[in-house]
C-alpha cells in the first residue's frame, strides 16, 4: 500500500475530512484533497509531512485508548 492509499484509508476509517486531516499534516485541505483524488503527487517534503501526520493520528488514538 502506498502512502496516499494509507492516507485515504486512515481518513475513511477515522472519518476525517481533508480540512481536518490537513491540521495533522501541516498543509491545506485543498492539498490533501488533490493528493487523495490523484490530481497531484506529493513532493518529498510533503511525503514526510504526511508520514508525520499519520504518526500523530496513531499516537492520539493510542493515548485516547489509555485514557478510556
3-class DSSP state of 41: coil
Assess whether pLDDT exceeds 80 at residue 65.
no
pLDDT digits (tens, 9 = 90+) for 7-58: 999 999 999 999 999 999 999 999 999 999 999 999 999 999 999 999 999 8
Dihedral sign computed on CA atoms, order 10, 16, 20, 22 = positive
The single-letter DSSP state of residue 17 is: -
Please, what are the domains in the chain?
3-67 (1.10.260)
Matching residue, cell 492520539 = 60
Closest CA to 49 of 29, 67, 22: 22
Closest CA to 18 of 48, 39, 43, 45: 39
Amino acid at each position: 500500500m502506498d502512502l496516499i492509499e494509507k492516507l485515504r484509508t486512515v481518513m475513511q476509517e477515522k472519518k476525517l475530512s481533508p480540512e481536518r486531516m490537513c491540521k495533522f499534516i501541516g498543509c491545506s485541505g485543498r492539498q490533501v484533497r488533490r493528493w487523495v483524488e490523484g490530481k497531484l503527487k506529493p513532493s518529498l517534503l510533503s511525503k514526510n509531512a504526511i508520514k508525520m501526520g499519520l504518526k500523530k493520528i496513531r499516537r492520539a488514538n493510542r493515548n485516547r485508548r489509555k485514557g478510556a
